[in-house]
Amino acid sequence: MKSGSDHSAPRNLVLAALLLALPHCTTTPQHAGVSSVSNEPRAAFELHSGMWINLHQELLHHARSTWKWRHRVLPERPIDPAWKNTIDLYRTRYAELENLDVRLSSIAVDLATANGEGDVSSDNELRAALSSAAETYRRKQWPEDDRRNREWIERVTPLLDRYGDTMREEIASASDISWPKGTLRIEVVTFVDPFGAQTTDVPSPLTMISSADPGYAGDASLEMIFHEASHLFDDQLRKGIIEESRQLGVPEPEGLWHAILFYTAGYFAKKHLGESYVPYAEAQGLFKRGDWTRYQPIIASEWEPRLRGGTSLREALRNVLRKLNPRTTRSEAKVR
Ligand SMILES: [Zn+2]
């Protein structure tokens, strides 16, 4: 399922709610199916630092000056006066689009994979605007951004080399999927509004992650690459939660799938990085907000056995839902 037109309305509503509720990343609807990983090359991730996508993300950030969901971690960077016309174009065209709008995702994929200046976009107006802004960006800011991006990549590469294959197998197994074929392109950039990272699979899989957000720095980079990649198959988990909720006669707990996704990548990152590692959701206080406060201990007691290989995915989800809905458990007991 690669097209934006496949997005279901309920899913979009949930996504919209999540965008408002969560200080993190977002994703588009998922692959309809995933295939065997057995004959795939070992390199599941391809990390890049590219000028055009960095410039585009920064222009978008400035154009969204009135958008309250801009990336909040970074210190503000002054707008280059030479960018006025380009930012005006971005304001007119893109500032009001959701960050996962297929038009923005398509531009991001084009810029990430552009071979040269003439290739950055088939849209003449956009290409001219980007080229104009690049004149000063290339000289003033890009060297610093590129250096930070490359340092980020150099920091995470040995962790991926060491733990990547095992974590892929562990997360795939816990999620009852085969890891998606091919490599996931990861663009390391300065700005990723609004949460510092995002993953899309429309028109093709692409993760963007911020090298300037301290939340994604150091060992967290390993966990968050896997968290982002998990969005490529999170529909499996959501389907399971929706079906088990229906069978129990309870509403789907809002955002539970995302809390489980965080917990899972965090659990396996900690397993490899050691006890002193604090998973992202814990470090960033996500489990101290709203319903997630209730979710965390229940995910720990009922979902974690799944991560240890002790229960089936459906059984673990059922146990989570029962614990979240104690009345349901009592009425089930009465029926028996
Ligand atoms: Zn996420």
Same domain? For 155 and 290 the reply is no
Q: Give the model's pLDDT for residue 115.
A: 80
Same domain? For 186 and 309 the reply is no
pTM comes to 0.85
The rounded Å distance from CA 15 to ligand 1 centre is 11
Same domain? For 308 and 169 the reply is no
The rounded Å distance from CA 101 to ligand 1 centre is 16
The rounded Å distance from CA 135 to ligand 1 centre is 34
The rounded Å distance from CA 139 to ligand 1 centre is 34
**195-248 residue pLDDT tens:** 899 999 989 999 999 999 999 999 999 999 999 999 999 999 999 999 999 999
**45-48 β-sheet, strand order:** 45-48, 184-189, 206-210, 197-200
Query: Do 71 and 195 touch, CB atoms closer than 8 A?
Result: yes
Of 161, 196, 231, the last residue of a domain is: 231
- Cα gap 312→236, rounded to integer Å: 14
Same domain? For 84 and 208 the reply is yes
The rounded Å distance from CA 224 to ligand 1 centre is 8
Asked if residue 81 has pLDDT above 70, the reply is yes
> What is the 3-class SS of 193-246, one letter each residue?
CCCCEEEECCCCCEEEEECCCHHHCCCHHHHHHHHHHHHHHHHHHHHHHHHHHH
Of 201, 231, 261, the last residue of a domain is: 231
The rounded Å distance from CA 334 to ligand 1 centre is 38
Asked if residue 18 has pLDDT above 50, the reply is no
Residue carrying structure tokens 């974590």: 167
Same domain? For 223 and 306 the reply is no
Q: Give the model's pLDDT for residue 330.
A: 52
The rounded Å distance from CA 128 to ligand 1 centre is 34
Per DSSP, what are the bridge partners of residue 218?
Answer: none
The rounded Å distance from CA 237 to ligand 1 centre is 13
Asked if residue 275 has pLDDT above 90, the reply is yes
3-state helix, strand, coil in the chain (%, to 5): 60, 5, 35
Same domain? For 167 and 59 the reply is yes
Same domain? For 226 and 301 the reply is no
The rounded Å distance from CA 129 to ligand 1 centre is 32
pLDDT tier at 4 (50, 70, 90 boundaries)? Answer: very low
Same domain? For 213 and 312 the reply is no
Q: What is the mean pLDDT of residues 114-133?
A: 89
CA distance from start to end of the chain:
42
Degrees, nearest 5: CA angle 142-109-232:
115
313's CB contacts (< 8 A; 6+ apart) are: 174, 175, 176, 237, 240, 306
pLDDT tier at 70 (50, 70, 90 boundaries)? Answer: low
Task: Quote the radius of gyration of the chain (alpha carbons, Å).
Answer: 21
Of 207, 231, 255, the last residue of a domain is: 231
Domain around 162: 4-231
Asked if residue 22 has pLDDT above 60, the reply is no
The rounded Å distance from CA 134 to ligand 1 centre is 31
Q: What is the mean pLDDT of residues 124-151?
A: 96
The rounded Å distance from CA 299 to ligand 1 centre is 16
Q: Give the model's pLDDT for residue 60.
A: 93
Report the number of distinct structural domains present in the chain: 2
